[in-house]
Amino acid sequence: MKKVLISEKIDDKGIQLLKDNGFEVRISAGTDVETMKKEIADAYAVIMRSSELPAEVIDAGKELKIISRNGTGINNVDVNEATKKNILVAKVNGANAFAVAEYVITTMLMLSRNLMTSDKLMHDKKADLAEIGSLPGFSTQFSLNGHELRGKTLAILGLGKIGQELVKLAEAFGMNVVGYDPYIKELPVKLYDKLEDIYPVADFLSINMPLTPETKNMIGKEQLASMKKSAFIINSARGGIINEVELANALNNDQLGGAAIDSFNPEPPAPDNPLFTSKNTIITSHLAGTTIEANQALGLGAAQAIIDFSNDKTPQFPVNAQILQKDK
C-alpha cells in the first residue's frame, strides 16, 4: 500500500478520497526538518500546505514520486530539487479563488467604513453613549463616517483566477477596476504596462501575485510614497512582496489610509513585527483562502493529483511537467 504523508492536516474529504483509492494516509507529527525527514522516508507522495519542504527533506524521501501542493503557491517547495530527483510537483489552481476575492472585498469594506475603529470606540465608550445622545452624532463626533466602494478605483496586481473573481465582485459594487499582469494581455479592465503608473491611481490596491524573485520586496518606500494618502492596501497573496517595515512606517506617518495583511515574511510573524502596532491595520492569520468550502476543494484537488499520477494520468496542474517524459 502506497503511503501518502500529509505535512499538516487537510480537509477530511481529501483524506477519505485517498483512503478510498487504496492509499495509506499519515499526518506528520511535525513540520520541522528533522521530523519531516523521518516521516517522508517511505512515502510515495506528500501533500504540503504552507510549511516548508526544503531540499534536504525531499532528498530524504527515498520512495517519493510526487509532491502535491494543497494550494496554488509553490514558494514553500524546492521545485528545482524535486525536478533533479525526478519527482513531480503538482498544485491546485482556482479552488480558493472566490474565497480570497471575498476576503479582499470584506477587508476593503471594513477599512473604508471604519468598522474596526467604530467597534473599539463603542466598547471603550459604552458608559458615555447616553450623554452623547444619538449614535449618528457619536459617529460624527469621532469621524467614523467612512466611504462607499462605489466609484472608487481598485487596482489589482495579478489577474489570474483570484484577480478575475475579484474583478467581478468589485464591479458589482460599482468600482472602477484596473490591473497589472505582465502575463495577461486581454481582460475587460484597463491594464497598465508599468507598475509605477498604477500606484498613484489606486484607492484600493489588492496584491494577488505569487512570491517570486521578481515580486520580492516589489512594494517599498518609493512605491508607497507614490500612492494616495487615503489609499488602502490588501495583501492576501504572500509575505515578502511588500516591505513590512516600510509599510508600517507609511501607515504610522499617515501616508496611507490603512491596510489588511493576511500573509507575512516570515510566517508566523515575529512578536516585534511592526504591522502588529501600525495604524488602521487588519491582521489575519493567512485565512483568506481557507473557508470551509475552499478547504474541501483544495483537499480534494491535492488528493486527486496523487490518484491521477498513480494511475499514469497527468495531474490537472503539474508544475515541473518535464519530468513526465521520464519513466515514473
Task: Report, as residue numbers or ranges, the catalytic residues.
Answer: 238, 267, 286
Are 4 and 23 in contact, with CB atoms under 8 Å apart?
A: yes
> CA of 161: how far to CAs of 96, 103, 175, 295, 309, in Å?
9, 14, 19, 17, 24
Region of 312 (left: φ > 0; alpha: ψ -120 to 50; beta: rest) is: left
Return the residue matching grid coordinates 480570497: 100
Helix spans in the chain (H): 12-20, 33-40, 55-60, 79-84, 97-112, 115-124, 129-132, 135-141, 161-172, 195-198, 221-225, 244-252, 292-310
Smallest CA-to-CA distance from 304 within 2, 110, 22, 18 is with 18
Q: Please, what sign has the CA dihedral across residues 99, 32, 267, 265?
A: negative
Residue 135, helix vs strand vs coil: helix
Query: What are the grid coordinates assigned to 238, written together?
Result: 504572500
